[in-house]
Chain A
């Protein structure tokens, strides 16, 4: 099993450009999450999904959109990138829907720079 994978690993954008980050998991988890990590801020939840076709806002959703068309994929979109969105983005999934441990399985991250 590959676990949680993220594409791309690195990206540089210009202000105003758009892009989509892809997260894929092969563990058949229902729950998936997008976080951003900034120095001194820890991880902040952007959006999450509790199943295919569902999405919900987290702590810092503004400027981002998400879609969960397939259970294994969770997409994070930036419609008009801003320098404040320069960050490392992490995707995670967990198995809480099966009454298990709420363990988050994280991807390796995407480092995004917006100029």
Chain B
């Protein structure tokens, strides 16, 4: 079964608003990553957060990690039309070489 589960499955917001997506996972991890996929394209790495970190920022992206709840959130501030895409979390477990992806959140930014 898949390690990560994103929530919500789909999200539509107005341009300029903030978008928040959540990811829950099942077992202890070494790190958690977020990826973006534009329609018909491969995935692109956005940000990685390690298990000993609680928050990271990259431009308009903010990621938090709560290992006690086994959950992470991705916040995109001041959304733009170009942010329309699917967003996936991926987890790497300790002492494991597999990188397991969730089912993704489809984000649609309305003009």
- A contact residues vs B (CB 8 Å cutoff): 4, 31, 33, 35, 40-45, 48, 50, 56, 58-59, 90, 92, 94, 96, 101-109
Chain B stretch 31-47: residues in CB contact (< 8 A) with chain A? 31, 33, 35, 40-45
Encoded as 1 (CB less than 8 Å from any A CB) or 0, chain B from 63 to 88 comes to: 00000000000000000000000001
Interchain nearest-CB distance for A28 vs B (Å): 17
Q: Is the interface of A mostly helix, strand, loop or mixed?
A: strand
Chain A residues lying within 8 Å of B92, measured Cβ to Cβ, are 102
Q: Is the interface of B mostly helix, strand, loop or mixed?
A: strand
Contact of A48 among B2, B33, B45, B98 (CB under 8 A): B98
Chain A residues lying within 8 Å of B88, measured Cβ to Cβ, are 42-43
Interface size on B, residues (CB 8 A): 24
Interchain nearest-CB distance for B66 vs A (Å): 20
Chain A residues lying within 8 Å of B110, measured Cβ to Cβ, are none
Most B CB contacts (10 A, CB to CB) among A45, A104, A109 go to: A104
Contact of B45 among A33, A56, A58, A105 (CB under 8 A): A105
Question: How far apart sit A24 and B42, CA to CA, in the bound complex (Å)?
Answer: 15
Contact of A107 among B31, B35, B42 (CB under 8 A): B42
Interchain nearest-CB distance for B90 vs A (Å): 7
